[in-house]
Amino acid sequence: MMKQYHIATQFTQYPGFRYREHSEGSGQEFREAVLHEIMKSGAPVVIDLGGTNGYPSSFLEEAFGGLVRDGYSAEQIKKIIQLTAPADYQHYVDMAWGYVDKAERERSVTH
Amino acid sequence: MDFWTLGVSGLGAFLGVMAKEALSSFSRGSAAWEKARDEDLKEICSAVDWLRANAETYWCSTIDDRAGDFALAAQITAYQHYVGLLYGEMFTGQAKRDCDVAFVKFKDAVSGGDFGNPDRVPEPRRMTAIHVTALSFRLIAKRERRNLRRKPLA
C-alpha cells in the first residue's frame, strides 16, 4: 500500500504564503521539510490536499513549482508524488500540477 | 343520493384535494430548490466581486498602507476557499471541471506571485489578469447555472 501524507493533519491546517520569512506553514517550508524528503526517499506517496482552510496560490506555486526549480523534472515528481483531494478541493490539485508544468516549461526556455 | 354514491363522491373529492395539495407541495419544494441555487450563484458572484475589489486594494497598496495586510490576505484566502466550496456543491461533472479551470486562473491571479510578501510591488499585468479572470469565472458559473437541469414544476 502506498504511503499517505495528509497536509491538514501532518503539516498544517492553515497553509501560509510563499516564503518562511512571511508566514508559518509556508510553501517553502512544506517543500523543504516534506516534499524534499519524499523525493529523496524515492518511494511513491499520496499527498492529500483536503481538510485545510484553503491554499494561497503562492503556497502551491512555491511548494510544487519550487521542486522543479530545485532540479527535479515534472516526470520524476509525478512518478513519486500523487495528489488527491475531495471534489471541492480538486482545483487545488489542478493548480499544483499546473505549477509543476509551468515551472518545467520556464526551465526549458531558460536552458 | 344513496350512502355509497355519497361515500364515493366524498372520497373522490378528498383524493382530488390531496393530489392537488401534493402537487402544490412538490412544486413549492422544486421552486425552493431552484431559488436556493439562484441564491448560491448570487453568493458566488458577490464573493468574486469582493475578491476583485479587495485584491486590487491588496496589490496596489503602498508599503505605508500595509498595516492590516495579513488580515486582508487571510480574508482573501478564506473567500477564495469559500467560492471553491460553493460552486463545488452546485456543480458536478464537466460543469464543475469548467468552473475549476476558470477558477484556478482567477485564484492564481489573486493570490499567486508575491502574495503574502510585504515587499511586493504592484504589477499592472496582474491587475488586468485579476479582473479578466474574475469576469470569465462569473460568466462560466452563470452559464453552468443556466445549464443545470431544472426541477420539474419549479
> Is the reported ipTM for this assembly greater than 0.85?
no
Q: Please give chain A's pLDDT, 111 residues, in tens.
A: 889 999 999 999 999 999 999 889 999 999 999 999 999 999 999 999 999 999 999 999 999 999 999 999 999 999 999 999 998 899 999 999 999 999 999 988 876
Residues of chain B whose C-beta is under 8 A from some C-beta in A? 70, 73, 76-78, 80-81, 84-85, 88-89, 92, 96, 100-101, 103-104, 107-108, 110-118
pLDDT tens profile B85-115: 999 999 999 999 999 999 999 999 999 999 9
Nearest to A91 among B70, B100, B117 (CB): B100
Burial readout B117-133 (b: 16 or more C-beta within 10 A, e: otherwise): beebeeeeebbebbeeb
Instruction: Write out the H or E segment, with its range, that includes residue B107.
Output: helix B93-111
pLDDT tens profile B18-34: 888 888 888 888 889 89
Q: What angle do CA A37, A43, A46 make, to 5 degrees?
A: 85
Nearest to B118 among A22, A26, A55 (CB): A22
